[in-house]
């Protein structure tokens, strides 16, 4: 590769600060060339408050899009039209129709598009995928319960249409599920608990089925205080695999397996550099399809108003 890839971070909020900026700073394949945000600023690089003026007047740089999903489609299409390689945070867009349009536009323009799923790069996930590939799975259960006040303080967009509610973290579990258990997954039933002052669910329970009629379940809840749970439990007859802490910990038949340190965002940027260099894209939308199907098939139940 001829020198580092200039990259602009767009949407300087929690995940940009916590993960993207440190991962870019630590990766010699990238050079932070600009930041684009209405309020957030990054020292040492040109800052733009508006995406259009960045595309028009800013440096020719790839775009790492960290804005909420409901404002992505126009930004993605503008970046692609301007010939920028593009990496987008999960969930890739607010609807299947939007992401399909984005994928088609990137293909037509010949730019790299990387729709990321950071949880797929959790250190236990690849070993889980290999374990599952050698067995007949008999059931799989996801338990993803966290405290929304701790992880999304003051983020109003998560409660608005297109904000995903508890599916914002839940889709991380579904991104692991669709990676370790490839093939069709059908939502059979879903119950979505929606606070009376919100438009998106604070909890969701899904019953699903994978190929071979394997039963799958997901229990997503944003009201868990104290210890947090991000677990996937897999059974193959008498054998049992457990992923905990979002895929950072792996247990097989009760024995902890050493999977190495957490490297999700450094790995995402390594993968983006590979894709840019090979002029390829990576755009799996299967986790988003499950969320859409759960919303189509889900039974909504009103629950207590939520106050941050
Ligand atoms: P956030 O803290 O709200 O940051 C998003 C930034 O996007 C905002 O600070 C805002 O910056 C900008 N933005 C542009 N248009 C916006 C709009 N209409 N409404 C709100 N913000 C807007 O959110 P985040 O937690 O970083 O999440 C961003 C994306 O990363 C989401 O898709 C989320 O699923 C994903 N993600 C988050 C985490 C996490 O731990 N929080 C982890 C992994 C992935 P300006 O106001 O300066 O423009």
> Who contacts 177 (Cβ-Cβ below 8 Å, separation ≥6)?
140, 142, 185, 216, 218, 232, 287, 290
pLDDT in tens, 126-143: 999 999 999 999 999 999
Number of Cβ within 10 Å of residue 208's Cβ equals 22
Question: Would you say the pTM of this structure is higher than 0.95?
Answer: yes
CA distance 122 to 244: 10
Task: Say how many Å lie between the CA of residue 69 and the centre of ligand 1.
Answer: 8
Helices (H), the chain: 14-15, 21-25, 51-57, 72-81, 96-109, 125-133, 148-151, 167-180, 264-278, 286-297
Neighbours of 111 (CB within 10 A): 21
Report residues whose beta carbon is within 6 angstroms of any ligand 1 atom.
Answer: 11-16, 37-40, 66-69, 71, 89-90, 118, 151, 155, 157, 168
How far, in Å, is the centroid of ligand 1 from the Cα of 66? 6
Asked whether 80 and 101 are in contact (CB, 8 A), the reply is no
Peptide bond preceding 283: is omega within 30 degrees of 0, i.e. cis?
Answer: no
The two structure tokens encoding residue 87: 């990496």
pLDDT in tens, 243-264: 999 999 999 999 999 999 999 9
Ligand 1 atom at shortest distance from the alpha carbon of 164: 34
Could you tell me whether strands 255-257 and 139-145 are parallel, antiparallel, or unpaired per DSSP bridges? unpaired
The pLDDT, as a whole number, for residue 1 is 55
**For residue 2, what pLDDT band results from cuts at 50, 70 and 90?**
confident
Calculate how far, in angstroms, residue 88's C-alpha sits from the geometric centre of ligand 1. 12
Is 280 annotated as catalytic?
no
Q: Which of 14, 41, 90, 297 is catalytic?
A: 90
- For the cut 70, the answer to whether the pLDDT of residue 13 exceeds it is yes
Taking the centre of ligand 1 as the mean of its atom positions, its distance from the CA of residue 242, in whole angstroms, is: 30
Residue by residue, DSSP assigns 181-193 as S-S-EEEEEEEEE
Work out which ligand 1 atom sits closest to the CA atom of 171.
Answer: 34
In degrees and rounded to multiples of 5, residue 120 shows phi and psi of -65, -20
CA-CA distance, 8 to 3, in Å (whole number)? 16
Name beta bridge partners: 229: 145
Average pLDDT over residues 23-43: 98
pLDDT cut 90: percent of the chain above it: 97
Tell me the pLDDT tens digit for each residue of 229-242. 999 999 999 999 99
**C-alpha to C-alpha distance for 89 and 5, rounded to whole angstroms:** 18
188 half-sphere exposure, CB direction, 13 A CA radius: 10
CA 34/CA 292 separation, integer angstroms:
34
What tokens were used for 203? 């909890």
């Amino acid at each position: 590769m001829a020198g580092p890839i200039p990259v602009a971070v767009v949407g300087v909020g929690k995940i940009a600060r916590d993960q993207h900026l440190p991962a870019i700073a630590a990766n010699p394949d990238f050079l932070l060339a600009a930041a684009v945000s209405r309020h957030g600023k990054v020292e040492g690089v040109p800052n733009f408050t508006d995406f259009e003026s960045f595309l028009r007047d800013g440096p020719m740089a790839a775009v790492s899009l960290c804005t909420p999903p409901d404002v992505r489609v126009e930004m993605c299409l503008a970046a692609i039209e301007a010939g920028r390689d593009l990496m987008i945070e999960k969930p890739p867009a607010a609807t299947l129709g939007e992401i399909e349009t984005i994928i088609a536009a990137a293909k037509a323009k010949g730019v790299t598009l990387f729709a990321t799923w950071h949880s797929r790069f959790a250190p236990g996930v690849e070993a889980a995928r290999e374990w599952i590939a050698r067995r007949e799975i008999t059931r799989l259960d996801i338990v993803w319960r966290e405290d929304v006040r701790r992880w999304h303080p003051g983020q109003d967009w998560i409660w608005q249409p297109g904000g995903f509610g508890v599916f914002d973290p839940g889709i991380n579990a579904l991104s692991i599920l669709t990676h370790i258990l490839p093939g069709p997954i059908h939502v059979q039933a879903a119950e979505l608990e929606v606070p009376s002052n919100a438009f998106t669910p604070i909890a969701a329970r899904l019953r699903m089925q994978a190929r071979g009629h394997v039963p799958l379940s997901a229990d997503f809840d944003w009201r868990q205080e104290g210890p947090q749970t991000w677990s996937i439990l897999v059974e193959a007859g008498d054998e049992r695999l457990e992923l905990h802490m979002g895929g950072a910990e792996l247990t097989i038949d009760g024995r902890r397996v050493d999977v190495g340190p957490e490297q999700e965002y450094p790995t995402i940027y390594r993968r983006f550099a590979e894709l840019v260099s090979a002029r390829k894209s990576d755009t799996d939308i299967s986790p988003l399809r499950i969320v859409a199907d759960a919303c189509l098939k889900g039974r909504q139940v009103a629950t207590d108003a939520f106050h941050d």
